[in-house]
Structure 1
Amino acid sequence: MKEIVLTLYEKRMISQIEKEELPKHIILVIAEDDLQTNEAFDKLKEFVSWCSEIKITQITIYISVIDAEELSKTICSNSTKLLIEKMSGITADVTIYTESEKIEVKKDGCDLMVDISIGFGGKYELTNAIKQIMLKVEKGELRPEDIDEKTIESHLIFKSEPDLIIKTRGERLTNFLIWQAVYSELYFTDVNWLGFRKIDLLRAVRDYQKRQRRFGG
């Protein structure tokens, strides 16, 4: 009975969501210790399916990892293998990013794009962009006075600005898309990753739709 009520509630929420403007790009932020079980990786696949159902066209999943370098490498390697296995079965263009590599898991040429970042933080991305720009200046390919916001943006890995960032397990900001997320709407939930449900995604989207976005104004 409880499941029937929840299903009806989900359908009602979807009908409300479809009447208003949807976020085009959603980011999900979880931690590496959220992915301790096979079920947790299955949940990521479900999350993509839920987003696709409500016509979200771009999804980015950020998995933050601890700073201990050797352990971080092990976590990235193990997570990457499981993500490739799980995401191979979805209909989407899927790319996985770590600090050491970029893996194109699938290229379906469809409308849904899924980027997964494992420990690839915003500080690293911004530092790397600045290094590339400095190198071009050194080679005489770019004049310092010509450097502006667009120059920096063109050297970032992730080009798109997210509309909505969903963070599980409480109100803590994260080191991801430092530049791109300046005008994004943040949604924090106390629900841990394994407990995250479709209705939690729908609530986040509905909350986003009720806000008046000012884009820094």
Structure 2
Amino acid sequence: MGFKEQIDLARLPEHIAIIMDGNGRWAQNQGKFRHFGHESGVLSVKDVVEGCVEIGVKYLTMYTFSTENWNRPVEEVNALMELFISTINQETDTLNKNNIKLNAIGDIASLPQKCIDDLASAMEKTSGNTRCTLTLALSYSAKWELVEAAKKLARQVAEQKIAIEDINEKNFEAQLTTVNIPDPELVIRTSGEHRISNFLLWQMAYTELYFTDTLWPDFRREDLFEAIVDFQKRERRFGKTSEQLN
């Protein structure tokens, strides 16, 4: 029996986030340039998105490009930006066909203008879709997001729209880039690394973490289903005891 058949569809995580890692190592293991790994990783993105839609996952967030990634060699960064643009343009019709809404979080203004324009166009064209929301974290940093949220609240205090005493978790969350997205119940990281790399720090307060040695270009929907099966075996207590839950 495959992992898909083991999934309890009544207890699916509503939101899954993925740290896609290992493209460069995958390419190097084959004696190829790193960019070849990024191109191959696009196939994994397509298959995992289709897998989420297939079983009914409502939200999928993919850590696509971090603010730290700007420190990579210029040639690699430029190639990645071109790959983003071409993939977005090629896949917009497929997103609509599968009723998938495209979303993006991060410091989008720091991206090349062509990328910003094509991303905005794809988001507009898919804005009415309701089956699944695919969020790309682009030029994203959780620390950046938290600082920006603090700045927004500071401005509201300075403009006397709210009092300092009124700041709480709820209105802080309202300033985050994920304001209309539920927190992820499951975060998957590929390539064997056991860290969260500045990703969704606030949102992951009670997220289940799943680490796999599989490099991202080799990750497919069956690996996704395996992670969900593992997730469903866990007891999520949120500070309570097992006896309280039962």
TM band (smaller chain):
0.7 to 0.9
Instruction: Quote the offset at 1:64 in angstroms.
Output: 4.1
Q: 1:70 to 1:100 in 2, by over 3 A?
A: farther
Asked whether the 8 Å contact 2:141–2:198 carries over to 1, the reply is: yes
Letter in 2 for 1:87: E
**2:135 is paired with a residue of what secondary structure?**
strand
The aligned length equals 207
Q: Secondary structure at the match of 1:119?
A: strand
Higher share of residues assigned helix? 2
Identify the match of residue 25 of structure 1 among 7, 11, 15: 15
> Matches of 1:212 and 1:130 in 2, distance apart?
33
1:77 aligned onto 2:81: yes
> Secondary structure at 1:84's aligned position in 2?
helix
Deviations 1:99-154 (A, max 9, x none): 13474422242221110012311111111000111011111111111111111100
Deviations 1:33-72 (A, max 9, x none): 5583333212211110011111111100112442528849
Q: Is contact 2:14-2:59 (8 Å) kept?
A: yes
Structure 1 stretch 38-47 or stretch 121-130: which is displaced more? 38-47
Question: Residues 28 and 86 of structure 1: is their aligned pair in 2 closer, same or farther, counting only changes over 3 Å?
Answer: farther
Counting only pairs closer than 5 Å after superposition, residues 25-174 of structure 1 correspond to structure 2 as 25-31=15-21, 33=23, 36-37=35-36, 38-65=39-66, 66-68=69-71, 71=74, 74=78, 77-88=81-92, 89-90=94-95, 91=98, 92-101=100-109, 103-104=119-120, 105=122, 106-159=126-179, 160-170=182-192, 171-174=194-197
Q: Is the 8 A contact 1:122 1:175 kept in 2?
A: yes
* Partner residue in 2 for 1:14: 4
Cα displacement string for residues 154-177 of structure 1 (whole angstroms, at most 9, x for unaligned residues): 000113200100000121222111
Measured in 1, the distance between the counterparts of 2:172 and 2:139 equals: 21
Residues 147 and 32 from structure 1, CA distance in 2 versus in 1: closer, same or farther, beyond 3 angstroms?
farther
Contact 1:62/1:117 (8 A) holds in 2: yes
Query: TM-score, structure 1 length as denominator?
Result: 0.85
Candidates 182, 193, 202, aligned match of 2:205: 182
Q: Aligned partners of 1:181, 1:43: CA distance in 2, in Å?
A: 24
Q: Displacement of 1:73 after TM fit?
A: 6.4
Determine helix, strand or coil for the equivalent of 2:144: helix
The answer on 1:215 being equivalent to 2:238 is yes
RMSD across aligned C-alpha pairs, in angstroms?
2.4
Distance 1:39 1:69 in 2: 19
Partner of 1:6: none
Q: Which structure's relative contact order is higher, taking Cα pairs within 8 Å and 6+ residues apart?
A: 2
Question: For structure 1, which segment, 171-180 or 47-56, has the greater mean C-alpha deviation from structure 2 after superposition?
Answer: 171-180
